Amino acid sequence: MNVDEYLALVKKLNLDEYLALVKKLNYYAHQYFALDSPKIPDSEYDLLYRKLEDFEKENPLFIDYESPTQKIGAGSVSSKSSIEEDSKVSAEKVVKQKPFKHKLVMPSLGNAFNKEEIKQFYKRVIKIIEEKTALVSAAKEKIDQETTPLFTIEPKIDGLAVAVHYKKGRLLAGSTRGDGTTGENVTENLKTIASLPEKLKEEIDIEVRGEVFMRKSIFNKVKDKFANPRNAAAGSLRQLDPGVTAERKLDIFIYQGIGPKKNEQGKMLQYLKKIGLPVVPDFYTSNNLEEICEKCEHIYTKKDLYDWDIDGAVIKLNDFDLQQLLGSTNKAPRWAISYKFKTEEAVTKLKDIIVQVGRTGVLTPVAVLEPVRISGVLVQRATLHNMDDITRKNVRIGDEVLIKRAGEVIPEIIKSIKTLKDSKVFYMPDTCPVCHSKVTKIEEEVAYRCPSIMCPAQVKGRILHFVSREAMDIEGFGEVLIDQLVDQGRIKSIADIYSLTRYELENMDRMGEKSAANILSALENSRRCSFSRYLYGLGIPFVGKHTADILARKFKSIKNLFSASKEDITGIYEIGEKVADSLLYAVNNDEFRLMINKLSACGIKPGYDFKAGKLDGKTFLISGTLKQNKRYEAELMIKNHGGRVLSAVSKKLDYLVVGDNPGSKLAKAKKIDNINIVDEETFLRLIN
Ligand code: IVH
């Protein structure tokens, strides 16, 4: 090839574009893998990656050695999260842990995005098996035996991959996947995962691989901090202090076992379950393509029913010998593929941005969209979080925007796709759109606030929260009624709802005699509410349902809570400084005290609603093997008597119960003064 021919070819190939793509994908992969801070949505990354692969397939001579297709770790980032998360993710300090070199590389998987691509994978696998088994007769017999299913189909858990090593049945070490060759040593953090046993039911040497994740129900309690459960899990597992990881209550599902002599994936999963490991639930086996596709769809339809996120299904060749036979490319095994669920995204026009005022006065921009259907649901509004979010995404009114709807989460704007000539920049208003007070912004906070506690939007929000099902549960007291009462100036604070008369209620829109009577009786019943519901209903920032429960257990009455010091509050397991500061701020605020006094003058008598247990408020941890009870039985006893079981030794631990062969927890506990170290006998005496 002469120079001219070469240059002509380069021009045709647009090599510059290819190299720019290599650079771009490497950047995104670094943001994702190393920094836990993804910059583009999954779907977009996957498309760019596909483009790169297509180019390389056509032009193998030009493959750049820096291309992500040439590296093990930075492949198709299957469990990636989206662009909208990065500000929240970086709010969590993640510290690099010690490196951990994998004995066997932890590869990624190739993707199939539709039925056609599953078919291609299936055909490819069968073809190789047929070609190779013509030579290897033993393997051929295997596929001829109808009894042995060819493939397994498993849900693809959306979390982060880890490898866990057991020696003689004891958890020895664990690591994240990292770049596939070297991960981070997160052994102590993995030990805080309650479902991951420190001791297996058999004394074997084994490496297991699985996905660490955060349950949606747990995520809902920390969602202010993270954008989605996957990021929450990743951030929590890579904490320097295992105590912090423990508080996040992570979970794990195992999908692979390396070591024991088993010959099939399905059987391996059953064995892993038998020895006490939490194995990926709901896996299927099948021989035929139609059924495999059906199972993938079945997993898709079930995805919202699970308490964890799944983002696809993994199809694997079941037989380990056949897996060997197929081997791997330098990127991923040929014997497995991940079927990625369609991302629930759509493009539409951003018609307007309106501002809503919440019960704490925070101004939230809400996107008004040209209605668009995403997986069967008509989306007309989407959240934009805050002003920083809008600026970062460079979203303007009039733009074409990309929307994502994930599970039950409110739809979000991921980014602007196209800014039009008449698109307008959005500015936060200077005054509250409801009460017109001057808006404030605290330097270190992203939120803009309406400072007026009397702002009707705030009053409405506070009352709606107070009467809600999870708080005082005052049935029938809905938004329409609250809007009327506040707009007419009839109620200005929570306590005012208790002075409403039958006559007043009956004269409200959409109210009859019966509904007014029902509301009055619901109000009456709520006078004897539980302390934790009442506390939650007061709407103190950072005091959610769970926190209110803990505080109610500890303090038992508003009087005790009012006289608690900061140390008293932060000394409680699971309660940090943020909650303590927020509580103390409320307690020392005149308006808040006035509201409490008014409520008690209205006859609200919140009672302590937990049966006092012998271990009430005390925290426990068990180390080693107990003789008289299994560990989970002892833990249940603790919980039944009002105690709490921690996952790691910390200053907040009251008792360490020590059995045979205690682990490192004992040494750690000895270094902390206030921990009572007791044996099983003493522990049982505490209860009985
Ligand atoms: S098998 C060689 N099975 O998905 C086998 N992976 O895209 C590799 N994942 O890195 C993995 N659920 O983090 C497998 N049931 C499952 C999985 C699963 C989630 C994750 C895992 C892996 C990524 C591959």
Q: Where are the alpha helices (DSSP H) in 383-538?
A: 387-393, 456-467, 479-487, 502-506, 513-525, 531-537
Q: What share of the chain in percent tops pLDDT 70?
A: 88
124 and 253 inside one domain:
yes
Question: One of 71, 80, 88, 156 is an active-site residue; which one?
Answer: 156
Residue 582 lies inside a defined structural domain of this protein: yes
- By CB atoms closer than 10 A (0-12, 13-18, 19+), residue 193 is buried
- The yes-or-no verdict on residue 205 having pLDDT over 90 is yes
State in Å: Cα 320 to ligand 1 middle.
16
Smallest CA separation from ligand 1 atom 21, residue: 161
Residues 6 or more apart from 523 whose CB is under 8 A from it?
474, 477, 497, 498, 500
* Residue 164, pLDDT score: 97
Find the CATH number of the domain harbouring 652.
3.40.50.10190
Percent helix, percent strand, percent coil in the chain, to nearest 5: 40, 20, 40
- Output phi, psi for 481, to 5 deg: -65, -45
Helices (H) and strands (E) in the chain, counts: 27, 22
Q: Give the CA radius of gyration of the chain.
A: 29
Mutate to test the pocket of ligand 1, among 33, 105, 157, 277 (most ligand atoms within 8 A of CB): 157
Find the CATH number of the domain harbouring 379.
2.40.50.140
- The yes-or-no verdict on residue 69 having pLDDT over 60 is yes
543 and 513 inside one domain:
no
- Domain end position, chosen among 574, 601, 628: 601
| 299 close to ligand 1 (CB < 6 Angstrom) | no
335 and 368 inside one domain:
no
Place of tokens 């900061």: 566
Over range 453-460, report the average pLDDT.
93
| 338 close to ligand 1 (CB < 6 Angstrom) | yes
- The yes-or-no verdict on residue 88 having pLDDT over 50 is no
Over range 166-188, report the average pLDDT.
92
State in Å: Cα 172 to ligand 1 middle.
22
pLDDT tens digit sequence for 99-112: 899 989 999 899 89
| 333 close to ligand 1 (CB < 6 Angstrom) | yes
Average pLDDT, the chain: 85
- In 3D space, the residue among 615, 611, 627 whose CA is nearest the CA of residue 655 turns out to be 615
Spatial separation of the C-alpha atoms in residues 466 and 469, rounded to whole Å: 9
Lowest model confidence (mean pLDDT) among 112-126, 136-150, 350-364, 558-572: 136-150
* Residue 65, pLDDT score: 75
Q: Which atom of ligand 1 is nearest to the CA of 177?
A: 10
Query: How does DSSP classify residue 496?
Result: G
Residue 429 lies inside a defined structural domain of this protein: yes
pLDDT tens digit sequence for 355-397: 999 998 999 999 999 998 886 678 899 988 889 889 988 899 9
State in Å: Cα 26 to ligand 1 middle.
21
Is-contact 394 424, C-beta < 8 A? no
Structure tokens at 599: 């409520």
Spatial separation of the C-alpha atoms in residues 290 and 123, rounded to whole Å: 12
* Residue 94, pLDDT score: 56
317 and 426 inside one domain:
no
CA distances from 280 to 154, 211, 624 (A): 7, 9, 27
Mutate to test the pocket of ligand 1, among 45, 72, 156 (most ligand atoms within 8 A of CB): 156
Residue 281 lies inside a defined structural domain of this protein: yes
Residue 71 lies inside a defined structural domain of this protein: yes
536 and 507 inside one domain:
no
Question: At 584, which helix (H) or strand (E)?
Answer: helix 577-587
Is-contact 688 677, C-beta < 8 A? no
Assign 154 to helix, strand or coil. strand
Question: At 13, which helix (H) or strand (E)?
Answer: helix 3-13
pLDDT band of residue 78 (cuts 50, 70, 90) is very low
* Residue 688, pLDDT score: 75
627 and 673 inside one domain:
yes
Instruction: Give the number of other Cβ atoms within 10 Å of residue 144's Cβ.
Output: 9
pLDDT band of residue 317 (cuts 50, 70, 90) is very high
| 157 close to ligand 1 (CB < 6 Angstrom) | yes
pLDDT band of residue 86 (cuts 50, 70, 90) is very low
Q: Residue 134: what residue type? A: A
Residues 6 or more apart from 85 whose CB is under 8 A from it?
37, 38, 226, 227, 228, 231
CA distances from 155 to 158, 284, 308 (A): 9, 9, 11
* Residue 374, pLDDT score: 80
Residue 608 lies inside a defined structural domain of this protein: no
Lowest model confidence (mean pLDDT) among 70-79, 269-278, 288-297: 70-79
State in Å: Cα 337 to ligand 1 middle.
9
CA distances from 66 to 11, 21, 62, 69, 138 (A): 21, 11, 11, 8, 40
Smallest CA separation from ligand 1 atom 18, residue: 156
More confident residue, 437 or 57: 437
> 666 is in which domain, residue-wise?
619-687
- The yes-or-no verdict on residue 194 having pLDDT over 80 is yes
Find the CATH number of the domain harbouring 539.
1.10.150.20
Residue 478 lies inside a defined structural domain of this protein: yes
Most confident of 44-58, 74-88, 593-607: 593-607
Spatial separation of the C-alpha atoms in residues 190 and 178, rounded to whole Å: 15
Structure tokens at 519: 């509301």
* Residue 333, pLDDT score: 94
Smallest CA separation from ligand 1 atom 9, residue: 156
203 and 321 inside one domain:
yes
Q: Where are the alpha helices (DSSP H) in 14-154?
A: 15-33, 42-58, 86-90, 115-133, 137-144
Residues 6 or more apart from 326 whose CB is under 8 A from it?
125, 128, 129, 317, 333, 334, 335
168 and 24 inside one domain:
no
pTM for the whole structure: 0.52
Number of structural domains found in the chain: 6
183 and 243 inside one domain:
yes
357 and 397 inside one domain:
yes
Smallest CA separation from ligand 1 atom 10, residue: 108
Residue 405 lies inside a defined structural domain of this protein: yes
333 and 357 inside one domain:
no
- The yes-or-no verdict on residue 661 having pLDDT over 90 is no
State in Å: Cα 540 to ligand 1 middle.
41
- Domain end position, chosen among 509, 526, 543: 526
- Domain end position, chosen among 317, 340, 363: 340
Mutate to test the pocket of ligand 1, among 208, 331, 338 (most ligand atoms within 8 A of CB): 338
Residue 101 lies inside a defined structural domain of this protein: no
38 and 167 inside one domain:
no
Please indicate whether residue 302 is annotated as part of the active site: no
More confident residue, 530 or 329: 530
- The yes-or-no verdict on residue 233 having pLDDT over 80 is yes
pLDDT tens digit sequence for 401-423: 999 876 546 788 988 989 999 99
33 φ/ψ sector (left φ>0, alpha ψ -120 to 50, else beta): alpha
Q: Which atom of ligand 1 is nearest to the CA of 280?
A: 15
pLDDT tens digit sequence for 473-493: 998 999 999 999 999 999 999
- Output phi, psi for 408, to 5 deg: -90, 0
State in Å: Cα 314 to ligand 1 middle.
7
Is-contact 403 345, C-beta < 8 A? yes
Measured CA angle at 113 (ends 310, 252), to 5 deg: 20
* Residue 640, pLDDT score: 67
